Structure 1
Amino acid sequence: MNLGLMLDAVTVLPSGIALTLTLTVLSLMAGFLLSVPLAFVRAFGRPAFSGAALAYTYVVRGTPMLVQLFLIYYGLGQIEAVRASIFWVVLRDPFWCALLAFSLNSAAHTTEILCRGLQSVPRGVIEAAASLGLKRFQTARLVTFPIAFRISLPAYGNEVVGMIKGSSLASTVTLLEITGMARQMVSTTFAPYEIFIVAGAIYLLLTSIAVKATQFLERRLSTDRRPAQRPRLRWRPPLPGRGITTPLS
């Protein structure tokens, strides 16, 4: 094992962390925004709309993300109508193709995660909200979704970790994130063992931070936390000739 090459990799590969995090965060944000209405459609929508959402999640979750990325990056460029449209300005850039593929993939997984959470919300809670006069949108925004998100948080944490690791596929379309930088170093040093060990350690660090952040958020949103105990009051004895007691804090 060449320790010198590993030290070189430690100094070079972190330059790809910014692109990795950018792809991951933007994909998760776009996927989450798209998945929220889809999850409500899947859980409570009419059969036709729910079936359409199910078809989308079934196809995307059942096919490799690498295939989806290649279909967007290489496949859409083969369609003349796409090349002649205004969308070609975006789709010819590998960054936006990767972001689109990752966002659609994340949206499909997150839709099913939130759908299970929405279906796990007790029916009595929804009925109680309706009895208070809340409209359907208010109930969904103030009652149903917060409870469903808290239920779905552990599974969504796995999606975050999976997207961090899945962002390495961006290297296949010439993007120089962590894996792309590692492949570039390997092509010049012919030492994949040392370099990819360092790359794997960086991914392990990022996923560990994501896991800790998810666990912290779970504790913050947990309803099982015991409230802080208030200090007990000590009582003075009654004053002479008076039936009054006063507390001591």
Structure 2
Amino acid sequence: MDIAFLSSAMVTLLKAVPMTLLLFSLSVFFGGLLALVIVTMRVSGNRILSGFAKGYIFVFRGSPLLIQMFLVFYGLGQFGVIRYSFLWPFLREPVVCAVLSLALCTAGYSAEIFRSGIRAVSPKEIEAARAIGMSGFLLVRRIIAPIAFRHALPAYSTEIVLMMKSTALASLVTVWEVTGVAQRLISQTYRTMEVFLCAALIYLVLNFLILQGMALLEHSLSKHRRAAPPSAVKA
């Protein structure tokens, strides 16, 4: 095993980690915001809004992310209304296209995860909140959203991890994140195994940190479900 080459390859790949984290954080942030809009439309009770949300979820969950990314990167420029608009300087950038496609895709999955969390909220808790005068946004903020998020968090953490791994597809639209730099390094050295082992180790560490963070968040949100210490019970 060539330790010197592995060290050199790892250093080269680590320089691309900030780009991977940028793609991941932006896509999760904007995808989460869009998912909240979609799930609100989905549970609104309005047939038109609900139908649009169902169609959105069906399209972005039912088609491959790779095709969606190619359509965004190569397809948007085919429309004159976009190519000659103020958006074109942004949409012609590979990073923007990669973030947009990742965000649109994760929004479809996240919306269904959030909807399952909302459905897990007990009607009795909603009735109790209304009985003491809560309604509208206050009801959502104090009762529905916290409970729904706790129920959705385990499934949503899986989606977060999948998004980290999905950033690797951005290399196919010329974004030089970890996988893209790994492919370029392989084309220069022809040492596939060593380079991809280093890349896999980086993704494993990143996903481990994400899962640990999500576990801590879930732990902090579930204090009421943990058994009280014996001293508290006796008191």
- The one-letter amino acid paired with 1:224 is R
* Aligned match of 2:42: 42
State the distance in 2 between where 1:191 and 1:78 align: 38
Q: 1:42-61: per-residue Cα shift (whole Å, max 9, x none)?
A: 13432221121011011001
Flag the 1:80–1:164 CA change in 2: closer, same or farther, 3 A.
Answer: same
- Between Structure 1 and Structure 2, which shows a larger proportion of helix residues? 2
Which residue is 1:115 aligned to? 115
Residue 224 of structure 1 pairs with residue 210 of structure 2:
no
Superposed displacement of residue 66, structure 1: 1.0
Provide the C-alpha distance between the structure 1 equivalents of 2:52 and 2:145, rounded to a whole number of angstroms: 21
Name the TM-score, length of structure 2 as normaliser. Answer: 0.94
Displacement of 1:199 in angstroms is: 0.2
Q: Which residue of 1 aligns with 2:15?
A: 15
What is the deviation of 1:11?
1.2
CA RMSD of aligned residues (A): 1.6
Q: Alpha-carbon deviation of 1:147?
A: 0.3
Identity percentage of aligned residues: 38
Question: Is the Cα–Cα contact under 8 Å of residues 43 and 118 in structure 1 kept in the other structure?
Answer: no
- After superposition, residues 65-104 of structure 1 pair within 5 angstroms as 65-104=65-104
Cα shift readout 1:173-228 (whole Å, capped 9, x = no counterpart): 11111011101111110111110111011101111111111111111111312345
C-alpha separation in 1, matches of 2:72 and 2:233: 62
2:172 aligned partner: 172
2:175 is paired with a residue whose SS is coil
Residue 2 of structure 1 deviates from its aligned partner by 3.9
Where in structure 1 are there 5+ consecutive unaligned residues?
234-249
CA shift in 2, pair 1:143/1:6, >3 Å? same
Question: Hey, what does 1:140 align to over in structure 2?
Answer: 140
CA distance in structure 2 between the partners assigned to 1:146 and 1:47 by the alignment: 26
1:194-205 correspondence runs (5 A)? 194-205=194-205
Q: Is the 8 A contact 1:40 1:118 kept in 2?
A: no
Residues 184-199 of structure 1 mapped to structure 2, 5 A cutoff: 184-199=184-199
Deviations 1:109-128 (A, max 9, x none): 11000001101111111111
User: What are structure 2's unaligned runs of at least 5 residues?
Assistant: none
User: Which stretch shifts more, 120-129 or 149-158?
Assistant: 120-129
Report the equivalent of 1:63.
63
Q: Does 1:52 align with 2:52?
A: yes
Which aligned pairs between 1:205-220 and structure 2 lie closer than 5 A?
205-220=205-220
Give the Å deviation of 1:153: 0.2
Measure, in 2, the Cα distance between the counterparts of 1:191 and 1:79.
41
Secondary structure of the 2:16 match is helix
Post-superposition CA distance 1:223-244 (Å, at most 9, x none) = 31234545989xxxxxxxxxxx
Farther off after superposition, 106-115 or 75-84:
75-84
User: Within 2, Cα distance between the matches of 1:161 and 1:151?
Assistant: 17
Q: Which aligned segments of 4 or more residues in structure 1 are displaced greater than 2 angstroms? A: 1-5, 226-233
* Cα distance in structure 1, aligned partners of 2:43 and 2:124: 16
Q: What is the alpha-carbon distance in structure 2 between the residues aligned to residue 65 and residue 120 of structure 1? A: 29
- SS state at 1:27 partner: helix
How many Å apart are 1:4 and its aligned residue?
3.2
What one-letter code is carried by the residue in structure 2 that aligns with 1:216? L
Q: CA 1:85–1:198 in structure 2 vs 1: closer, same or farther (change >3 Å)?
A: same
